[in-house]
Structure 1
């Protein structure tokens, strides 16, 4: 009579092993697919940061990503879809980076001031992200990912706490986003110093309702370090 261990050699055991192998193969396929998609997005990000244009051919994008031409269509229907994904990817990285630096700051006014000033620093340390923000960020201010929802979150927290005074959060978001992109545009032609970031942060805080003296004090506080 077979003992208890003998049952592991039966059909159920073989079926389980086959299932595990199939799952592992599927996981490897999904990882390869994700890597290929990210390679295409990275290539598009590089092109946007270098030129701000979307005129590169699919062949050029695929070659830069080191993938086959036909592979492109396994991930994106059009070039516009890819470039939209590239902008969203860069702005999401930008948002996550600022979140990680300001996550221990409780005051929404201080978060806003730090985010503005750190964005100017990012122009030197993370030029690809800030180039894409400068050249392609304006249409994405109200997007579902990246800079917009994080800034809107902080604006609404600030208004609920009484720190900010404005009627329409989306109008406030447009004003803040436009000011930030304008600062990056100016920096691309004049190589602004840290003082410009402080000045812009102070003006934004005053626009959001803080008194002038307090806005100045918050905008000139020591900044947290970028990773």
Structure 2
């Protein structure tokens, strides 16, 4: 017969206590993302996060050791899932220009449809390495594929990656601030395709192609 310990919530994967811990952690992450989107990453205190999550002040340290750790968790929860979905979408695509275009368009559209997410990404910005660590290797990979296939003309991948991120954050800020949403994703993708050496007319055609939905991952 199984012992009482083996039947306790802490002993069973997915037990009640584990689910409660996951729910509490998710509340902290959601509260942090909302506050950081509204005011900026560095303007939010840890006590404000626990208050917004309706939790005791000491609860934070049961789940995170520092502000940097929760920022990493928020970035991962907010951005990594999008990156994985874009990976799945473009995995079988051959044309680097189409991959680059579709990925950029989906990020812009994500910000338009979920402004809270968009503001978090804008305010996280390039000053925090989490965003670069999540999306940087993906952007560099797509740019290198464009170079290797002869699709892109780029003198330096690192500089091109930085230009992509800088332009992306500025565009998201513009879209979120001015509500300039009509074809913003296509215009941004077209501009960035031109930046990497795709002829203007072709860049316009690629950027205006029907955009496949992101798969669930």
Q: What is the aligned partner in structure 2 of residue 11 from structure 1? A: none
Q: 1:119 to 1:143 in 2, by over 3 A?
A: closer
Distance 2:26 2:81 in 1: 13
Distance 1:190 1:22 in 2: 54
Of residues 170, 173, 181, the one that matches 1:182 is 170
Q: Does 1:144 align with 2:133?
A: yes
Deviations 1:25-73 (CA, angstroms, capped at 9, x unpaired): 2633444333322221111001112222433333331132233322211
Q: What is the aligned partner in structure 1 of residue 40 from structure 2? A: 52
How far residue 24 of structure 1 moved from its aligned partner, in angstroms, is 5.8
In terms of fraction of residues, the more helix-rich structure is 1
Of residues 14, 19, 22, the one that matches 1:34 is 22
Distance 1:184 1:72 in 2: 31
Q: Which runs of 5+ in 2 are unaligned?
A: none
Task: Tell me which structure has the larger Cα radius of gyration.
Answer: 1
Q: Which runs of 5+ in 1 are unaligned?
A: 1-13
Deviations 1:112-135 (CA, angstroms, capped at 9, x unpaired): 112222333222312222111112
Alignment of 1:136-215 (within 5 A): 136-139=124-127, 140=129, 143-145=132-134, 147-215=135-203
The answer on whether the counterparts of 2:146 and 2:152 sit within 8 Å (CA) in structure 1 is yes
SS at match of 1:150: helix
Q: Does 1:62 align with 2:50?
A: yes
- Deviating runs (4+, > 6 A) in structure 1? none
CA RMSD, 1 decimal: 2.8
The answer on whether the counterparts of 2:118 and 2:176 sit within 8 Å (CA) in structure 1 is no
Q: 1:17 to 1:167 in 2, by over 3 A?
A: farther
Deviations 1:143-179 (CA, angstroms, capped at 9, x unpaired): 332x222222222222222222324322211111111
Distance 2:21 2:111 in 1: 31
Q: What is the aligned partner in structure 1 of residue 7 from structure 2? A: 21
Q: 1:114 to 1:62 in 2, by over 3 A?
A: same
SS at match of 1:197: helix
Of residues 97, 100, 106, the one that matches 2:94 is 106
Number of aligned positions between the proteins: 212
Q: 1:108 to 1:75 in 2, by over 3 A?
A: same
Compare 40-49 and 67-76 and name the one that shifted more.
Answer: 67-76
The answer on whether the counterparts of 1:148 and 1:173 sit within 8 Å (CA) in structure 2 is yes
Q: What is the aligned partner in structure 1 of residue 73 from structure 2? A: 85
Alignment of 1:124-143 (within 5 A): 124-139=112-127, 140=129, 143=132
Higher RCO, Cα 8 Å, sep 6+? 2
The answer on whether the counterparts of 1:102 and 1:224 sit within 8 Å (CA) in structure 2 is no
